[in-house]
Structure 1
Amino acid sequence: MNELSPEDKRWLDAAVRYATPFAGTTADSPAVAAFIVEPLSQTLVTRAVTAKGGRPHAEAQAIEAAGYEAANRTLYVTLEPCSAWGRTPPCVDAIIRSGIMRVVIGSADPRHAGSAALLESAGIETIIADHAPSLALHAGHLLRQTAERPFVTVALALSSDGRIDRSDEAKTSLLGSEARDWIGMLRARSDAILVGAAAANNDPDLTVKLPGLATRTPLRVVLSGASGVDRRMNLIGGFSGYRTAIIAETSVAVDPPVSIETIRVNGKQGRPDLKLALAALSGKGVHNLLVEPGQRLLAALLEADLVDAVALINTLGSLSDAGLLASPDGPIAELLVAAGLVELEQQCLGVDTLVRYGRPSAPV
């Protein structure tokens, strides 16, 4: 397939920026962006992103909006278009009918491998670019298709004395306003938030508190321990109106209210197998999972090689005896490096410092 031009890269970059705010809103479908561009003048004809709830797809919306103006234009799309009937007709068919003459695809989709070949066979010039921002945007979707699990991001607020606390009250006092807003946006762009039972006992509400974005609060998930889950905790027993679920090992007794979903997976000694727990969430359409862990869950995820990214927020405040050491085995940064993660970047969030870690080969 043909080379990616500088103009192609700029349009794909723009498509990713357009789609990013919609992550977490598209249910079991990935948040794809589609741009239709007039190639000679390099002007945008129309653009679209996967609709809320996952349907209709971005390509179908963009083509419908462009109408006859789609003919002889270039379509930029962040993920390979669908080629099979599902709850909507194949986007490949709509592209062929539209008269679009060229398609530039940011990342291939294992679920629809062959779509590019169908477009080529219809006489449409097609490029699949291993475009790093597109791969990063769709990392969760790609992992669901290839590894049957979501993309896992761990978020930790670390005190100056190397401690963590999962209660919202302590975290609010520990973090500055910019860091709190950053975590709020991370929650809003996730499909689910996972905490362990020990952290849940500190009664975090795990909601999005950014103005106007409360409805973007994702599925809240408590990972049960061997002793089950106390239904008196706010996440389980308190009425919030937000979707909440418990993941429990098959033999462990849990007695949640009827409004709380219980997901059963196999495990050992009453603890759910983490790989099976993530597979269960993937099966429910979770692309991007945010984990706000306590000490035990963090160590278990790292040991199982199930962490793809870490957002470590270093704060100036001290927790002293009010918090747990993030890792009893030494500085958390050393633990992350030992688990095969590398530091990607540092960023100031007001008075706090964000340090991002990821897999060496992961899209950034």
Structure 2
Amino acid sequence: MSAKTPSPDPDFDASMMRMAIEEAHKAMPSPNPPVGAVVVSTAGEVVAVAHHARAGEEHAEGLALAAAGDVARGGTLYVTLEPCNHEGRTPPCVDAVLSAGIKRVVIGATDPNPAVVGGGAQRLSDAGLAVEIGVAGAEARALIAPWTKFITTGIPHIALKLALSLDGRIATRTGASKWVTGPEARAKVQELRSRHDAVAIGIGTAVADDPRLTLREPGLAPNGRNPIRLVFDTRLRLPLHTRLVQTAREVPTWVLTGADAPEAAEQMLADAGCIVLRAPTSAEGRVDVTAAMRLCAAQGIVSILVEGGAELAGSLLASRLPDELHAFVAPILLGPRGRPGAVDWAGPDTPGDAPRIVDPRWELCGRDAYVSGPLAFPARS
């Protein structure tokens, strides 16, 4: 078998990159990004496919090249993210690529980490390999969008979930909210949870609903784990009898509180297995959500799904923090005395000043309407 460089075929390259992207979706290796790799031999055959499973373990490129063995020599490596060129918990991926005798490397997205951007691709090119960047680039960048936000800003990627009636209510006049949406919508929320490192709620929701915030279907949990459960609780009012506290030793429960919260309450929660993180308070006397999110990122949380309540959602929107929105609208009317507002904030002065979903995706979840997409905030005047 000759060791010639395979001839580039744009359609074939794109299909191989999409295979690598699909492979990358199999794991959430936070705080590392998801990465997939495909090795194609000089005969044009796929000889290995791999993904990065957990932080600290072998990266996708190394796994794929090891699986391919000598067949990789002279072939092409497709990788969703630029191979790393720095020593971390694992050796540089560029070393493995060079040792394998690969002649061509096709990269979906460059590494957005300001400390290393471009280094891996440049070293491969300097070594004489053919390097192509940006194949299926939009999809490759979307794959790492949460990690890009995390690594470039020090704040997790934040998805905001809302559920409301046609007339904008989140509960009846008696406060009953189970269930505003149907089982298909709730199943979709389970899927959303599985794609995030953490799920966040406010203290009001924790007390009123006493949720578990876990994944009901074991197969949904990437790497066999539930997301971390975050409770925003300025004064540490979270009762010890809630399910979030009672199960804190099985599924992590973190409580984000203010700097002046009672130390005795912190100790009781800590004794129950909760982790308490203190953040500054805002002018309104609530936990400063930006500071709290930075604390979460410092602990390695890359992505957060915010499920409620209205006060927390409003604080996040007022701080322009959410990156995407997931809204479920049930075909029911709860009336003028129903609990209003999925979001508690002052809101924009005009519709033109409102945050909006960019390229909204609409679908039906059973009988409920579901709209989702990236959230954009107008430039500040």
TM range (shorter): 0.7 to 0.9
Q: 1:262 to 1:360 in 2, by over 3 A?
A: closer
Give the alignment partner of residue 11 of structure 1, picking from 13, 16, 25: 16
Give the alignment partner of residue 242 of structure 2, picking from 208, 212, 234: 234
Q: TM-score, with normalisation over the residues of structure 1?
A: 0.88
CA distance in 2, matches of 1:210, 1:319: 31
State whether residues 80 and 107 of structure 1, in contact with CA within 8 Å, keep that contact through their aligned partners in structure 2: yes
- Structure 1 residues not aligned, in runs of 5+: none
Task: Find the counterpart in structure 1 of residue 217 from structure 2.
Answer: 210
Instruction: Read off the aligned partner of 1:231 and give its amino acid letter.
Output: P
Please state how far the C-alpha of 1:164 moved relative to its aligned partner.
Answer: 2.4
Task: Find the counterpart in structure 1 of residue 151 from structure 2.
Answer: 145
Please state how far the C-alpha of 1:357 moved relative to its aligned partner.
Answer: 3.1
State percent identity of aligned pairs: 32
Task: Find the counterpart in structure 2 of residue 358 from structure 1.
Answer: 374
Task: Find the counterpart in structure 2 of residue 57 from structure 1.
Answer: 59
Query: Is it true that 1:124 corresponds to 2:139 in the alignment?
Result: no
Task: Find the counterpart in structure 1 of residue 362 from structure 2.
Answer: 346
Q: 1:209 to 1:323 in 2, by over 3 A?
A: farther
Deviations 1:246-267 (A, max 9, x none): 1112222242133111112223
Cα RMSD after superposing both structures: 2.8
Paired positions, count? 352
SS of residue in 2 equivalent to 1:173: coil
Task: Find the counterpart in structure 1 of residue 87 from structure 2.
Answer: 85
CA distance in 1, matches of 2:324, 2:50: 28
State whether residues 27 and 286 of structure 1, in contact with CA within 8 Å, keep that contact through their aligned partners in structure 2: yes
Task: Find the counterpart in structure 1 of residue 5 from structure 2.
Answer: none
Please state how far the C-alpha of 1:211 moved relative to its aligned partner.
Answer: 4.7
CA distance in 1, matches of 2:253, 2:374: 28
Please state how far the C-alpha of 1:77 moved relative to its aligned partner.
Answer: 1.1
SS of residue in 2 equivalent to 1:314: strand
Deviations 1:94-148 (A, max 9, x none): 1111111111111111333211001111111112217111111101111112111
Please state how far the C-alpha of 1:54 moved relative to its aligned partner.
Answer: 4.9
Please state how far the C-alpha of 1:171 moved relative to its aligned partner.
Answer: 5.9
State whether residues 38 and 78 of structure 2, in contact with CA within 8 Å, keep that contact through their aligned partners in structure 1: yes
Task: Find the counterpart in structure 2 of residue 261 from structure 1.
Answer: 275
Task: Find the counterpart in structure 2 of residue 286 from structure 1.
Answer: 301
SS of residue in 2 equivalent to 1:72: coil
CA distance in 2, matches of 1:331, 1:109: 36
Deviations 1:21-60 (A, max 9, x none): 423xx1311111111123553x311111112355221111
Q: TM-score, with normalisation over the residues of structure 2?
A: 0.84
Instruction: Read off the aligned partner of 1:325 and give its amino acid letter.
Output: G
Instruction: Read off the aligned partner of 2:237 and give its amino acid letter.
Output: V
Please state how far the C-alpha of 1:232 moved relative to its aligned partner.
Answer: 2.9
Give the alignment partner of residue 257 of structure 2, picking from 244, 248, 254: 248
- Structure 2 residues not aligned, in runs of 5+: 1-7
Query: Is it true that 1:180 corresponds to 2:186 in the alignment?
Result: yes
SS of residue in 1 equivalent to 2:39: strand
Instruction: Read off the aligned partner of 2:300 and give its amino acid letter.
Output: G
CA distance in 2, matches of 1:301, 1:126: 41
Q: Which moved more, 1:170-179 or 1:96-105?
A: 170-179
Instruction: Read off the aligned partner of 1:30 and give its amino acid letter.
Output: P
State whether residues 200 and 230 of structure 2, in contact with CA within 8 Å, keep that contact through their aligned partners in structure 1: yes
Query: Is it true that 1:22 corresponds to 2:27 in the alignment?
Result: yes
Query: Is it true that 1:222 corresponds to 2:231 in the alignment?
Result: yes
Q: 1:337 to 1:71 in 2, by over 3 A?
A: farther
Q: 1:172 to 1:134 in 2, by over 3 A?
A: farther
SS of residue in 2 equivalent to 1:311: strand
